[in-house]
Amino acid sequence: DAKTTQPNSMESNEEEPVHLPCNHSTISGTDYIHWYRQLPSQGPEYVIHGLTSNVNNRMASLAIAEDRKSSTLILHRATLRDAAVYYCILRDAPQGGKLIFGQGTELSVKP
Amino acid sequence: GAGVSQTPSNKVTEKGKYVELRCDPISGHTALYWYRQSLGQGPEFLIYFQGTGAADDSGLPNDRFFAVRPEGSVSTLKIQRTERGDSAVYLCASSLALAGTGELFFGEGSRLTVL
């Protein structure tokens, strides 16, 4: 399974944008980039995913580098509720199957 | 509710005992996954099912761990001769299909403590 690298932790101020980076230099052509987050004492929840083009949904935006070796999850206005561990995961679309979680980035949001 | 349901939410047992953890997936979801999570770590894959069959059980740590899904819906994770190192939160997730890009929906987990 292709691996991802994320910073262990990041801090943000409430109502400011947050850019969470992820490196995945060994990504293959059929790997989708998925982001999940895990709030304290809860199971992970899906945030967004993409292949090549940038993606937007109600929760966040995903910016994917042209060579696909890195991506950035963007929270446009952080709220206290966004404090969580964010996981960047590669998943082979045709094969599907398990998600392999790394350590993720622990985001703290200051009021 | 319509989400993934896991029972019990908390289980305390003694070393050497047998434990069963149950997962009720979202109705209609054919794929079901089990993970376990230790404090401060990301979820660790254990096994996943497509329908009734285990499609990948490569994450089960040893033969004390076993999971079934006899009717393609509810799944039970079984742990024999529990050890203190088995203490963790056990997470279950389901999705519409095994392949593709569909999202996984996770339950809130069953916290297992082995004394």
- For residue A98, the model assigns a pLDDT of 83
Q: How far is A15 from chain B (nearest CA, A)?
A: 27
Residues in chain B with CB shorter than 8 Å from the CB of A85 are 42
Average confidence score pLDDT of chain B: 94
Each residue of B79-105: pLDDT tens digit?
Answer: 999 999 999 999 999 998 766 677 899
Helix (H) or strand (E) holding B47: strand B44-50
Q: Which two tokens stand for residue B12?
A: 């305390």
Residue B3, classified by CB atoms within 10 Å of its CB into exposed (0-12), middle (13-18) or buried (19+), is middle
Q: Do B104 and A46 touch (CB under 8 A)?
A: yes
Q: What is the 3-state secondary structure (H, E, C) of chain A?
A: CCCCECCCEEEEECCCCEEEEEECCCCCCCEEEEEEEECCCCCCEEEEEECCCCEECCCCEEEECCCCCEEEEEECCCCHHHCEEEEEEEEECCCCCCCCCCCCEEEEEEC
- For residue B98, the model assigns a pLDDT of 62
What's the rounded Cα separation, in Å, for the pair A91 and A93?
6
Q: How far is B99 from chain A (nearest CA, A)?
A: 4
What residues 39-78 of chain A have any CB closer than 8 A to a CB of chain B? 41-46, 49
Each residue of A1-37: pLDDT tens digit?
Answer: 568 999 999 999 999 999 999 999 999 988 999 999 9
